[in-house]
């Protein structure tokens, strides 16, 4: 894709809130299954909770990280070099994953399962308060009603409606309060790293760290446990469904729907535990259980409702890709978009935007030859290291709840050294004479990899990129800007011509092995 842009007409990206709610619900259901497995192992198989916790976290981490190695090992390598992300994952691991496990189980040990569950779910109040303070707003009526139904339903299911069951010793109250704040930390801490690296990497590393720390203190090898086929089967189901799937779904729910909605919908966990326990273990379901389940179902319906869209003219743009401004002139002057050199933290998103470009080219009927897509990950990383790769950003809100900085909506590369392939090419009638690298210093800059994210097209981003590319080339003391596009890439050809580029004919580009590929050549001279 040397020099060609993937600018195509596409519909804006739809909101993923509904998907996030579905994922959060699936996560809660899987956690309910996990609770049933834990009940079976502790009550019937006599396995200590501490042993279950260590094995669960370490095996879960193994599954996540192995999946990461097959899915995108380069991203895993990249996050290990990102100290800031590692610190956030470590905080999530200690105060979210591990502390939630320890405090919840400790609260149960001093009280009972119902009391521990009710106290832990008080973390929903903490989540809502923190989010509201962070974004400087009052809780929405629907959130408040959802909170009441969530806590009420959890209380009924956990205590069977007996308020006397909440008699709490001081130690139990302390650990219950800790578990509430741990639940809040679990929901709120991973937001930025989840958006950046995805749930596979974040969850795998968090579990690995949490499981390692727990193992050091618990030393599960010193705990006598009878390893039977039944235990292996139940533990395997708990790890795959109640750990791998549960964490994956719930954290993706946070990313898509925001922490408040995901936290509330996660209250389907006691519903799931009640139903699965009744079907699997024969635990009776009482009318009080049914009432609690109904309250939580009502809560899910409440938080699933769409918010009324503000009337036109009410409030400003939130800066998200779903609300990008229309193009009404030079975007650089209007201040809609910003560009900056890409950094290693941008690698994953850079690749995503490039993939959008490949899909746009395919939609135009352009077949990119070769088993490996251009540019390769190695080439992109090298361009980042050299400072020639750039990104276009727009302010963004993460989900719907909290400010999250910026979102990358476009990528491009400007190489002031020119392009060696142009020196080996034939057929182009360039506007400038140049020694072309590596024979001497090029008089032009080469423009490559112009891609706009699918949700941001038809918003002036492509024209903004051309303006930024020209600015960078001029700053480097170059006389012109060259690029090449696929012969069938009509949208990019039109964009270049509109900006002021001149067609320089059809060019036959040759690589170092002598292989040819044909492109349309363009150059802008100033």
Give the Cα separation of 201 and 73 in Å (integer). 10
Domains of the chain: which residue ranges? 17-304, 321-525
- The pLDDT score that the predictor gives to residue 249 is 85
Say what angle helices 17-43 and 229-239 make with each other, to 10 degrees: 160
Count Cβ atoms within 10 A of the Cβ of residue 433 and give its class: 0-12 exposed, 13-18 middle, 19 or more buried. exposed
- The pLDDT score that the predictor gives to residue 360 is 81
- The pLDDT score that the predictor gives to residue 324 is 42
pTM of the model: 0.54
The pLDDT tens digits of the residues spanning 265-306 come to 777 766 776 777 677 767 676 777 677 667 766 666 665 555
The pLDDT tens digits of the residues spanning 373-388 come to 677 788 888 888 888 8
Please determine, looking at this structure, whether the domain spanning 321-525 carries the CATH number 3.40.630.30.
yes
Give the Cα separation of 27 and 300 in Å (integer). 14
List of the chain residues with pLDDT < 50: 1-15, 307-334, 371, 398-404
- The pLDDT score that the predictor gives to residue 141 is 78
Best CA proximity match to 399, nearest among 81, 49, 23? 23
Give the Cα separation of 390 and 450 in Å (integer). 10
- The pLDDT score that the predictor gives to residue 212 is 92
Count Cβ atoms within 10 A of the Cβ of residue 485 and give its class: 0-12 exposed, 13-18 middle, 19 or more buried. buried
- The pLDDT score that the predictor gives to residue 437 is 58
């Amino acid at each position: 894709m040397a020099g060609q842009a993937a600018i195509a007409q596409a519909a804006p990206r739809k909101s993923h809130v509904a998907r996030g709610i579905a994922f959060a619900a699936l996560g809660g259901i899987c956690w309910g299954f996990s609770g049933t497995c834990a009940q079976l192992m502790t009550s019937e198989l006599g396995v200590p909770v501490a042993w279950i916790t260590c094995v669960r976290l370490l095996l879960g981490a193994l599954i996540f990280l192995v999946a990461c190695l097959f899915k995108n090992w380069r991203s895993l390598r990249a996050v290990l070099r990102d100290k800031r992300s590692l610190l956030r994952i470590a905080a999530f691991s200690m105060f979210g994953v591990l502390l939630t496990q320890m405090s919840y189980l400790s609260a149960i040990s001093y009280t009972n399962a119902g009391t521990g569950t009710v106290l832990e779910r008080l973390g929903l109040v903490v989540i809502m308060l923190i989010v509201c303070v962070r974004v400087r707003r009052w809780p929405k009526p629907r959130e408040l009603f959802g909170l009441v139904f969530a806590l009420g339903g959890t209380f009924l299911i956990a205590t069977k409606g007996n308020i006397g069951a909440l008699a709490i010793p001081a130690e139990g109250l302390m650990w219950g309060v800790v578990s509430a704040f741990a639940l809040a930390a679990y929901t709120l801490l991973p937001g930025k790293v989840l958006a950046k690296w995805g749930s596979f990497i974040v969850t795998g590393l968090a579990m690995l760290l949490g499981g390692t720390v727990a193992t050091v203190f618990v030393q599960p090898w010193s705990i006598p446990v009878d390893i039977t086929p039944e235990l292996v089967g139940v533990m395997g189901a708990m790890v795959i469904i109640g750990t791998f799937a549960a964490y994956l779904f719930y954290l993706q729910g946070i990313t898509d729907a925001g922490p408040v909605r995901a936290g509330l919908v996660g209250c389907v966990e006691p519903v799931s535990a009640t139903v699965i326990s009744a079907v699997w273990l024969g635990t009776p379901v009482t009318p009080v259980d049914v009432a609690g389940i109904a309250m939580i179902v009502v809560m899910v319906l409440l938080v699933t409702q769409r918010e009324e869209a503000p009337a036109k003219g009410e409030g400003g743009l939130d800066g998200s890709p779903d609300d990008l401004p229309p193009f009404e002139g030079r975007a650089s002057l209007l201040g809609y978009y910003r560009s900056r050199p890409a950094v290693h933290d941008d690698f994953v998103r850079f690749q995503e935007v490039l993939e959008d470009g490949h899909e746009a080219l395919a939609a135009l009927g352009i077949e990119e030859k070769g088993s490996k897509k251009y540019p390769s990950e190695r080439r992109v990383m090298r361009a980042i290291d050299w400072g020639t790769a750039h990104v276009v950003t727009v302010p963004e809100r993460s989900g719907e709840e909290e400010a999250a900085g910026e979102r990358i909506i476009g990528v491009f590369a400007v190489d002031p050294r020119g392009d060696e392939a142009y020196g080996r090419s034939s057929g182009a009638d360039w506007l400038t004479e140049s020694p072309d690298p590596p024979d001497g210093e090029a008089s032009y800059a080469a423009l490559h990899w112009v891609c706009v994210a699918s949700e941001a097209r038809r918003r002036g981003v492509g024209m903004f990129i051309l303006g930024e590319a020209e600015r960078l080339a001029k700053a480097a003391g170059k006389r012109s800007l060259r690029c090449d596009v696929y012969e069938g890439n009509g949208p990019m050809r039109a964009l270049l011509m509109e900006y002021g580029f001149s067609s320089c004919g059809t060019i036959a580009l040759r690589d170092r092995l002598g292989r040819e590929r044909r492109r349309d050549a363009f150059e802008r001279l100033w």
